[in-house]
Structure 1
Amino acid sequence: MEKLKELRNTTKQIPLPEFEGVRFPAVIPIRKKGVEKALQDVREIQSRESDIMICTYPKSGTHWVNEVTNMLIRNKTELDTVTKVSTMLEVIPDLSVLDALPSPRLLNTHCSFKYLPKKHIENRCKIIHIIRNPKDVCISFYYHAKSDPVLDFTGSWDDFFEMWMSDKCPYGSWYNYEKEMEQAEKDFPGMIFTCYFEEMKKDDTGEIQRLANFLEIPCTEKTIANIAETTSFNNMQQNKLDITKVVSGKGFIYRKGEIGDWKNHFTVAQNERFDVQYTERFKGSSYKSFFEQIKET
């Protein structure tokens, strides 16, 4: 933690590095090696057949589903002292630390499907993917970007909205990310488990049971209920170790975790522009029918 504090205090904000038209956060591996080499190193990770990868666009519920999955793997219903960032592939300075982790390893990344470890795909290792209403993703990402120095953002909500609309957010376009993941589901049947943030909020025990089935981990109803209770947003916000809070004094990982917070920020004009873009960019998507139901939620 002391090293993290020192890094935060000494690391200067820099313009986000770009690769293949996508901006990436200025995390240590990318600063030291450049985006292309950092991504290449991620792709060359020696995956194990038991590896489980959580793949999400930022602010879609990654910490939540990571903690749920971690509890299922450990067969424990207490919050772990290990945080998601410790196994986030693109931010680990020395990827050899993964070699010491016991199997099954729970890894995670916000990088798009084409940048995942090649052996993970070749071995058809399990992937967990959570998707969230992009309007709420956009709002949550805005608040995160304001606080995270590696994202180099100091603008207003209006500025961030324009970044989103022009595909200039860190990790690139939400639409491109999700459509690539959707295609991967078709190309590799049975490898990817997709869950929806909104469904997790409405029926946490049901979705956790679905995830346990995908992972082939037997669980009692009591265990599932305990996991749901322990990983509730309020409990995670109050009791889960938030490295950003330890490092900076004010955490920004667990803000609201709500459905529909976008209504408190979008202007009428912004909402109309967003809907037009969404309709155009997600035409023909199998995910679209779900979002049509919650468009006004």
Structure 2
Amino acid sequence: MDMEKFGELMKAKEPGPWPEFEGIRYPPAPPFREKGVEKALQDILHFQSRESDLLICTYPKSGTHWIFEIINMLLRNKTELDTQCKVSTMIEFISDFTVLDKLESPRLLNSHCLFNYLPKKHIENGCKIIHMIRNPKDVCVSLYYQFKKHPFVDFKGSWDDFFEIWMSDKGFYGSWYNYEKEMEKAEKLYPGMILTCYYEKMKKDSTTEIKRLADFLGIQCTESTLKDIAYATSFQNMQQHNMHKLDSSKELDGKGFIYRKGEIGDWKNHFTVAQNERFEEQYTERFKDSTYKLTFE
């Protein structure tokens, strides 16, 4: 689906009830609205993966567009932004998977769905998964701004209202904690299949992290190419030169909400002292057994 058609589809839909299944809310994407969440998830589970498929797995607002562009450049061995958009290969946004049949291998797919709902064949084949994790405080703030502007959501609340949505696990795709703990469990069950990248490390030392990605994918890359990819996929460069292609939401009001700031630590501009204390208490309790080492700056 090209961005013009996607923009038309976005404009045509009116805000409605958030699709829900087994206590988890999902965005009102066409498959969830047309088929119902359970049927859409079953279709994803039975998606016929190729052995060469690559799958990016992230909780929303954790750098999906960014890492998609980085991997796309590595696969093409080119350092300019491509015409392909992340949304066009986001499996829960595709009603008819035959549109993916024409794509050459390796296909670069992506999803925000819980690990348990990813294509079974992808897991059985041991296909590679790239997982990006981000400081959940910044994820929370970024989601708040997406909720404010998303035409399907019709959210008119304040930051305080959204903070309560986050704390009660009522955002899209459910609990951040459950999502990340499932991914961590999967890493242990399927050693070598999943590479976890940290958003903050990618921001601070992009060249080193892109090299780690290339090694995981088995791609030879010169130091010069790595640096060029790091520059080409910097937030500032993508926002300035490629927002229209990457940010499908720009079709709605000319501004978009996918690429907002891309900063580390924006949560400090939103969390009150009391909210931060509540967040820290919840995080400590629910993520205490995790081996993921997150940076709160």
Assess if the C-alpha contact under 8 Å between 2:7 and 2:249 holds in 1: no
CA offsets 1:50-109 (integer angstroms, 9 cap, x no match): 000000000001111000000000111000111100000001122111111100000000
SS of 1:107 mapped into structure 2: strand
1:113 and 1:64 map into 2 onto residues whose CA distance is 21
1:122 corresponds to: 124
What is the number of equivalent residue pairs in this alignment? Answer: 292
Deviation at 1:2, TM superposition (A): 4.4
1:4 and 1:228 map into 2 onto residues whose CA distance is 28
Which stretch shows the higher mean deviation, 141-150 or 215-224?
141-150
2:143 corresponds to: 141
2:75 and 2:152 map into 1 onto residues whose CA distance is 31
1:68 corresponds to: 70
Out of 274, 281, 293, the position equivalent to 1:276 is 281
2:163 corresponds to: 161
1:166 and 1:180 map into 2 onto residues whose CA distance is 18
1:102 corresponds to: 104
Assess if the C-alpha contact under 8 Å between 1:26 and 1:150 holds in 2: yes
1:126 and 1:259 map into 2 onto residues whose CA distance is 27
1:78 and 1:226 map into 2 onto residues whose CA distance is 9
CA offsets 1:101-144 (integer angstroms, 9 cap, x no match): 10000000000100100000000000000000000000001101
SS of 1:149 mapped into structure 2: coil
Assess if the C-alpha contact under 8 Å between 1:205 and 1:225 holds in 2: yes
1:215 corresponds to: 217
Out of 240, 248, 251, the position equivalent to 2:253 is 248
TM-score, with normalisation over the residues of structure 2?
0.96
1:285 corresponds to: 290
Assess if the C-alpha contact under 8 Å between 1:4 and 1:247 holds in 2: no
Q: Which amino acid aligns with 2:260?
A: R
1:238 corresponds to: 240
Deviation at 1:10, TM superposition (A): 2.5
1:163 and 1:54 map into 2 onto residues whose CA distance is 26
Gapped runs of 5+ residues in structure 1?
A: none
* 1:171 matches 2:173: yes
1:12 corresponds to: 14
1:274 and 1:234 map into 2 onto residues whose CA distance is 30
Q: What do you get for the CA RMSD once the two structures are aligned? A: 1.1
Residues 3-42 of structure 1 aligned to structure 2 (within 5 Å): 3-42=5-44
1:227 corresponds to: 229
2:7 and 2:121 map into 1 onto residues whose CA distance is 34
Assess if the C-alpha contact under 8 Å between 1:56 and 1:129 holds in 2: yes
| Paired-residue identity, % | 69
1:5 and 1:248 map into 2 onto residues whose CA distance is 10
Gapped runs of 5+ residues in structure 2?
A: none
* 1:262 matches 2:264: no
The 1:66/1:3 distance shift into structure 2, 3 A limit, reads closer
1:78 and 1:274 map into 2 onto residues whose CA distance is 39
Which stretch shows the higher mean deviation, 40-49 or 179-188?
40-49
Residues 164-203 of structure 1 aligned to structure 2 (within 5 Å): 164-203=166-205
Q: Which amino acid aligns with 2:66?
A: W
Deviation at 1:228, TM superposition (A): 0.2
SS of 1:100 mapped into structure 2: coil
Deviation at 1:7, TM superposition (A): 2.4
Assess if the C-alpha contact under 8 Å between 2:55 and 2:108 holds in 1: yes
Deviation at 1:266, TM superposition (A): 0.3
Assess if the C-alpha contact under 8 Å between 1:5 and 1:248 holds in 2: no
2:133 corresponds to: 131
Q: Which amino acid aligns with 1:235?
A: N
